[in-house]
Structure 1
């Protein structure tokens, strides 16, 4: 039995299905490579699942400036599929949830944000600096607006990473709480246990939807950040 509800986020508290975090990530990336069916005449079941996801994220990327940046669309779309698989595999019982940790989400969001910023600065430094000051602002307000805009741009990778990690962590914590109460009520109340089991099943379905939605929001915000690129 786990000592507290946060023990599910510690990979060394118990033996998980994937004891090595590096092996777990490699397995996710291998699954992405296996679903590439360009060599086959008929699409497989995996490609049938992946194709709508690809079309969804490419439709969003085509509405932003990221589709004009070489390689950005491919990277973000691949990240979208990998995040979905990692989030879904984190729903397996007694499995270490990688996407619920800030160090993992920050390792995805920070390089993308930094690459957009450096690419914009190298392409047109003047236009990049101009983004720090909105148009039409009064002169006496310009110093404060520059500070606010600079702060908002700098904290983007932190807010992006915190959003994904916090939402995935909250879901696993709620499932742990409901599971603990369900186990406690097993020998005391049959009606309470039945209600908790139904609640758990409903929340598990809701958590599966959260896994898809949070991966989409993560990539959606990355694509929106590309609109600040100088062009």
Structure 2
């Protein structure tokens, strides 16, 4: 019996040690077995998706940072796995918690900031003032660009968390209303099926958006550095 609407996202269990977070990594245990199996249509589709993602991320990164596409494809796969598993019954939705999303966003953003400010300090200062800004607005542009850089990991994390929470709350509301409905039960079931399909699309889109925005932030920080310095972000 749910005490409130948000109890769906409660990670606590009746045992002393919570096992809900194990659903986040359960697919990582099963994944290595696919390398010992014969190629199938499923593996071919997954490889095709990874190749398309590699081509998409490669266009956003410079020539010396193409190796980072492996990092962003892995991030996409990990987020997508947890988003889709959260739609299964009695499976903990880890991607609806800021602990999960901030763990992905903050280390990525912090590593990019440290790398950029240590190796290309002049260009990092130049990025704080957009090209063509009036001299009178330059101090304000520096403040605005600084704040926008600081809130980037928070925007990535909150975007993913809010989208996953919103869909689950709608499904929870429809499920509670279906228990007391009589004549409207077929209509509510049809709405739940449509909402489930919509949430599957949201799970895929949010994983893609998170990975693409991380790629764009990487290209903005290290674009000039990739042209002038022999170092590349693939060494991080």
TM-score normalised to the size of structure 1? 0.88
Q: 1:13, CA displacement in angstroms?
A: 5.7
Task: Identify which of 193, 200, 219 aligns with 2:192.
Answer: 200
Paired residues of 1:67 and 1:73 also in contact (CA < 8 A): no
Counterpart CA distance in 2 for 1:5 and 1:223 is 35
Match of 2:162 in 1: 166
The partner residue of 2:220 within 219, 222, 228 is 228
Give 2:207's match in structure 1, choosing from 211, 215, 218: 215
In the aligned structure 2, how far is the partner of 1:133 from the partner of 1:208?
A: 40
Offset, 1:21: 3.9
Aligned to 2:232: none
Gaps of 5+ in 2: 225-236
Q: Secondary structure at the match of 1:3?
A: coil
Q: Deviations over 1:42-82 (max 9, x none)?
A: 52344134223312321221111266337522111111111
Higher mean alpha-carbon deviation, 176-185 vs 65-74, is at: 65-74
Distance 1:113 1:93, change over 3 A: same
**Alpha-carbon distance in 1 for matches of 2:57, 2:63:** 6
Contact 1:61 1:67 in 2 (8 A): no
Please state which structure has a larger fraction of its residues in helix.
2
1:10 partnered with 2:10: yes
CA RMSD after TM alignment:
2.1
Q: 1:3 to 1:14 in 2, by over 3 A?
A: farther
Asked whether 1:25 is paired with 2:43, we answer no
Gaps spanning 5+ residues in structure 1: where? none
Name the CA distance, whole Å, in 1 between partners of 2:193 and 2:3.
Answer: 24
For 1:93 and 1:14, locate their aligned partners in 2 and report how far apart those are by CA, in whole Å.
18
Task: From the superposition, tell whether residues 32 and 222 of structure 1 become closer, same or farther in structure 2 (CA, over 3 Å).
Answer: farther
Where do 1:81-92 residues align within 5 Å? 81-92=77-88
The separation in 2 between residues aligned to 1:21 and 1:119, in whole angstroms, is: 35
**2: CA distance, partners of 1:148 / 1:203:** 38
TM-score by length of 2: 0.86
Tell me which residue corresponds to 1:130: 126
Q: 4+ residue stretches of structure 1 with deviation over 4 A?
A: none
Across the two proteins, how many residue pairs are aligned to each other? Answer: 222
Which moves more between the two structures, 171-180 or 19-28? 19-28
